[in-house]
Structure 1
Amino acid sequence: MTFSWTPHRFSGGALALDVANSVVLRADPARRIDRFADPAAMDTFPAGANRHGTERALFGAVEPVAADAREGLVELREAIDRHFRAEVQGAGTPALLADLLDAIAAVLRRSGARPQALDTATARSALSLLARPEPERLKICPNCGWLFLDRSRNRSRAWCDMAVCGNRAKARRHYRRNQEEARP
């Protein structure tokens, strides 16, 4: 089965969150899908980020990560997810922050002459998320569990992507309502 990086895959609002969201159904071990487990998908992610990502203006065109840096990118991805997910849930700890900063530092030390590589741009994006002035804008989608930035004026965005997760949630509610009405 072929996979493509569609606009929905970049609904996190920051490159670091889009990279963290490359694991689908993270909380369900039986159905969990790691899109970066396939090196070809990891190699095509930067093209999708360049086309659909929201931080293109900040970081310029993102390039594929070097083969010897793939493991570091995955470690950074997991540290990003652990830290920011805990922050949203009110369970952030200094240890999680230290782990994230260690992962960022490791990537930046390795980056060398590749400042536009996916791992380096992701580390820079994570640093900008840490410095954001409104941490309450970071949320978790109740449908898919992805992390996203709520950039709505009144901070009322509920889903990572209204066209996908919002519609699914509304369809479930409609189905349940119809089932309840059909019962005698």
Structure 2
Amino acid sequence: MSFTWTAHRFAGGVLALDVANSIILRADPVRRIDRFTDAAAIDSFAEAANRFGAESARFGVLAPVAAENRAGLLRLREATDRHFRALVSAEGRPAYLADLLEAVAAVLRSSPQVEGALPLDTATAQSALSLAAGPEPERLKICPNCGWLFLDRSRNRSRTWCDMAVCGNRNKARLHYQRNREDAGR
């Protein structure tokens, strides 16, 4: 099945969260889709992050992950999701932070130097480390529609959806449908 990365797939606000969000419907074991099961999808993610990613200016050109480092990127993705999801849920555990830091360290130790570009795994590790050290963890949220992690950069911290054009509109449509059904039943 062919898949194309779109701007919506980069709604997390930072690269580490966009990588963590590469699993669609993470909490639903039946409908869960891991977009990184195909090596070509990981490579195309790096290309798309150059176009759509919020941190593209910070990291410059992102290069694909070396084949031998893909498992490290996946470990980092899972540690990132576990730590920040627990932080949002107020279930933060020191072990999750330790796992994240170990995954970051492993990626940074094994990352090769690429002339003129930064490998996706290295950039993701740096992004996760910056986010973990960030001063405002209350800006980190979970979308109530899709379950993705995102950084709320709105002035009053009132953002609800990872992407209003997708998840927000789906919720509005669902509420509208429910209201119409209730009105028809009266």
| 2:172 counterpart (170, 173, 179) | 170
- Report the 3-state secondary structure (helix = DSSP H, G, I; strand = E; otherwise coil) of the residue aligned with 2:46: helix
Counterpart AA for 2:132: L
- 1:34 maps to what in 2? 34
Gaps of 5+ in 2: none
- Report the 3-state secondary structure (helix = DSSP H, G, I; strand = E; otherwise coil) of the residue aligned with 1:153: coil
| 2:135 counterpart (108, 116, 133) | 133
State the 1:153 CA deviation.
0.5
Matches within 5 A, 1:57-136: 57-114=57-114, 116-136=118-138
Deviating above 3 A after TM superposition, structure 1's stretches of 4 or more consecutive aligned residues are none
State the 1:132 CA deviation.
1.1
Q: Identity, % of aligned pairs?
A: 71
Q: TM-score, normalised by structure 2?
A: 0.97
User: For residues 167 and 19 of structure 1, what CA distance do their matches in structure 2 show?
Assistant: 23
CA RMSD of aligned residues (A): 0.8
Offset from partner CA, 1:4-58 (integer Å, 9 cap, x none):
0100000000000000000000000000000000111111001110000000111
User: For residues 169 and 128 of structure 1, what CA distance do their matches in structure 2 show?
Assistant: 32
User: For residues 175 and 47 of structure 1, what CA distance do their matches in structure 2 show?
Assistant: 38
State the 1:112 CA deviation.
3.3
Aligned residues: 184
